Every structure is written in C-alpha cells, then in structure tokens.
Structure 1
C-alpha cells in the first residue's frame, strides 16, 4: 500500500495544503497570565508547521467556557494579540492553522468559573470525569442547567470568538462539537434531559450545535469553518441512545451549510476504534466536502483508508508532541520519538519545544 499521495498537495477551500496530514488539537496547558498564548506557544506551533494543516489546541470562547487550568482564550484583545504571534510564526514557515473554538460546558470546576459559580450544562447532571486545576486532576463540579434565555449568549460568544480568531490571523476555525464538551452534551441524551426546544428529539438536541455552526459560518464564511464531532466516544461521560440517527441528521444539516470540513473522531477518543457500532463510511458519504479522519491512525491505515476513498485528510495527535518534524519522519520512515507523559500538561519548554528534529530534517 503506497502512502505517496498523503504527501501531495490538497485543496481545502481557498487553501492549498502541502500534504494530507493534519495536526490534531492537543491541550498542553501553557497559557500565560490572562490565558494568553506566549512566545513558547508560537515556537511550538512553528516547529510543527510542516503539517498540511494545524488545528490549534482547544481555546475557550469565554471564561465560562474554560474547563482546565492554563488553557488559552480568544475573548480578549490580549489573547488575540498573543495568538497573532502564533499565526505569524506558522505562516512564516509556510503552514496553515485553524483555531478550535471551545466551550467545555459541565467539564469544569468552580475554581475556574466566573465568581466561583457552577459550570453550565444542558441539564444539571454531573459528568463522571476529572479536570486539571490547581496543578492536579480533580472531580469536576456539579453543573447547573442553562436557562433558555442564556443560550443566545452562548451562540454569540462562539460568533465573536470566530471573528476574533480571524483578527488573530487564523486561516479558519473549528467548532468543537466533540469529546463530551458543551455542544456534544446537548447532542447526546445521556447528558441532555431538557424538555424545551433544545432537548428531547434528535432535531432539538442537535439545535445548539447547528445554530453555533451557522453563526460561525455567517461571521467568517463556510470556507473558513470546520467542525469536530465524536459520535460514539464516551469521553467525559457522555452517551447517546441513538448515535447513528443523531449524527446522520447532524451531518446532513452540516453538509447543507457547505462548511469546509468535517473532523470525525472514529471510535473512543484516544481509545478503541470499535468501541460501539457505527457506520462511519456512511457518515462520510453524507458529507460532500473534506472529511478529516481521526483516532488511532498511522501511515499504513491512513494510506489504506485514503485509497478506499473513506477520508481526505488524516489527523495525527500525540505523534506530533515529540516529533516536531513528523511529516519528514513519516516520509522517510525515520523512527518516531516518544513523549514524556510527565510534561504533557503545564510547565515550560521541557517536553514542549525541546523535542529535537531528526538529523535528516534538522
């Protein structure tokens, strides 16, 4: 099975990507004061600019949207200015980068919320998961259900964040609709027991994800908008009684919007691809634009799935951590370095910008 075509250019809307390998979003918890990305972050992403497309670490659209310590935001001028240094550095290396827009919903802690208030969620159901706060992992806090009249404000926060991302120089934005965060919580009935227009039926539970995406499209254009979904992932304690029906409907509606790409976590996030029955091939057929496949991909699997027409681009996550020159290593068959788990979350340059390139790509 040849992987040659994975390293050929690819047209993503108005962008020409240098290859079909995407750097997936990776939370690293290294934002500075005011949740502003700093010089190290610019260096980190610039080191990895040979990816066909970089999707940034998840970035909160508001303080309410934050769920973990020291993650960056995109709601203040200082944050916009910090991200501008990142995008300038990536573009100077010939790369392309989208910003992932994030609201964690119930996956948060009162110590991170405005005035120590409870995190918000579709329903007052506590997530069976932990978050990283005060330099350690702790249980998330009990959430409260969003009032119906608060939801337009959430949509507006996403819209404003998308505009801010373009002001910061990003090539586009990715709506985070996956991994048990707010939009995924609304979509899945294990977390959403509402009886108003945002709960109950498949159509109602999809409403917030679709309204947010439509607002982002209206603000920055469909060609600069992508979305990430995880139909069957149990990440952060979410579950759905009918994931196939739910996400067939969502993807049909997303396709009608003409957005640039659909980024799909196939299986359990960072876990088994076969965690639950789901027709991902059928999902891919429902979306006419770019399909980014994610979860457990290596070069051989990506080449096989590409030849079968099952995806256009392939997202690699953890391999990018310790391999800033991952593209060159994949091309040449050079061995991949392993990352140090103790430096994943928080800290400085160690385990962040100090992983070396191979001699061949240095």
Structure 2
C-alpha cells in the first residue's frame, strides 16, 4: 500500500480527541453539515477505518470512545451495560449526559487480536446484547437496536473490508436488519410467449426502506413489472401490505447451511418488539418460516430472488447499488477516475464525514460504499 496510507497513529488520535466533544454536542440535530473525516489507514497490511468525530483514548490493544446514544432511559444501569471480553458499553450516570462509553479494539488490537478469540463473533455477541438492552428499555428517543449499532460502528475503529458487518451485520449472506436508505428488489423469472417463441423475462418490484414516523422502518413500493401476468405473487407485488406497519424488519438472505447443498430461501421477519424478533430469528428453518411463527412477528418466505441494495448519491444523482459495492467497482462501471474521486459518508446524526483515503486503486478496493454515501469525480 502507498506510503500515504501509513499515517502516524499519534497524529490521527490527536485529531480525533480534539474534535470529539464538539461532535457529541451536535449529535442528533440532523443539520446535515460536515463532520471530521474518517481515515482509511493500513498498518502491517491491515486496512482499518478510524473515525474522526469521537473522543478516543487508546490503551495498547483497546480504546475507549464516547458515543451519543441519548440519556439513560431507566435507572438500572447494570441492565444497561455490556461487559464483553472485547467490546463493552457503559451508560452515562442516571439523569446524566448522553455520552456512553464503548471499549473496542484499537488499530493495534485489530492487527494482533488475542489468539483464542474470534473478534467478529465477539461483535455479534455484543450486538445481541444491544438488542436485549433495547428490549429492557435502556435507550430512549426513538432509538432502535439497529440505530444504536450504527452509531457505535461509526464511532469505533473497524476493519475497512468488514465495515458492512459492523454497521449492518451484513456478511453477504445470513441476517441483516433493514434501515432507511436500503432497497429490496424481489424478482421471479417467467416464460412469456413472444409470437412463435417463448422468452424468459422477469416479474419484479422494488421496495424502498423508509423511516417510520413512530420510529423503525416501513416498506414503500416504488416500481413493479408484472409483464401483464396476474399479480398473484404477494411477495413481489404486495410486500408492503404483507409486512404491515411493523417497524422492525429483519431479512434473511438466501444461503446454505454448512455442509448442506440445499439453499434456504430468503425470509423477511416483521415485528413490533425486538425481543419477539430475536425469538423468531432462532426459529427460521432451512425451508423458511417455521410452521408456528413467533407471537407478534410476521414471517414471509420468498419464492423469488431477493437482492439488497443501498442508496448512494453519485455525481449528484441518487443510485441504488448492490450491498457490498466497492468504490473501485463503481468507478470501473461508470468510467470514473480514482485520482479525482471523493467520498462523503452520511452519519446517523445527519452530518457528512469526508472519507480520507489515498487516490489509488488498491485503496479504493477497501472503501465499501454504504447507504447515504456521496461519491463524486471529475
């Protein structure tokens, strides 16, 4: 990697520490202004993203960051903390401020993790604990477990190539909670008579994931292609009606279990309570929804292909890109130049943070585009 990417950690941490408390003061206002840059760094061939807007104190392989998650909503602070082996979360004092303290690996900690620990598994355990805290009422102000996860992921150092894992829980398969700025595409191939021949075409529909006024999300259909076929597929044409007004949507992407060649179909869970959604998650089977769905949760098994996309602004125009698209892939497809490319990342508080990276193809591979990113080039 180029020498530009090998920046001194002490300088970066000084910038982070000096800018952090100002950011906490404005968090949640949603002004859409600029935030300190997110830095792509690589030390010992390990690329990481280091945030520039929270106060960070490093201690060898770990660091502490202050994250604005709102005031503690209930007095039981013990129920509202996480004490993992790698990731911890400590709330502010009861009736205190909005700054919660997160402990996570530093750049050094990601490079040389403890030999007996799986850091990704530790993160997923941490995320499950956030869901339990949400169910206990620890977070106020309309926060959901998914939005808490997003704010924490923005505030800590994370592996650049796994940024989607930390922000969305997205691994390319498995489970992901839907957030505003995402889109579902549901598609089924059908044979259509075209004169003397038959042609394979697609019935399909697009659903934007939008913010609900009462918190959580809703699906909104924006496009449908029926090919003049009877609209009998509820999962294609009426997914918004099927999911109802449940504010929590969790998507299981099509995948195969270890050692099993059979693909599990995509599944959508729609629920009103995070604890019910967690229970329902454990009941999804290799064939899709269980025979007896969990209480308070709708379970929808897709018999079609489902794709997950994210909304980005590319040279001033909104585009939906496949989840997992790297900056270099976008530039290659649209004949853009990495030398003049810039990325601004939309944060949970509505501000935009420039992404600081070397203008090289190698660095661009590690910039995985996320919902709300603004990408420009000349």
Q: What range describes the TM-score normalised by the shorter chain of this pair?
A: under 0.3
Structure with greater proportional helix content: 1
Q: Work out which of the two has the higher radius of gyration on C-alpha atoms and give 1 or 2.
A: 2
Give the TM-score normalised by structure 1. 0.27
Give the TM-score normalised by structure 2. 0.26
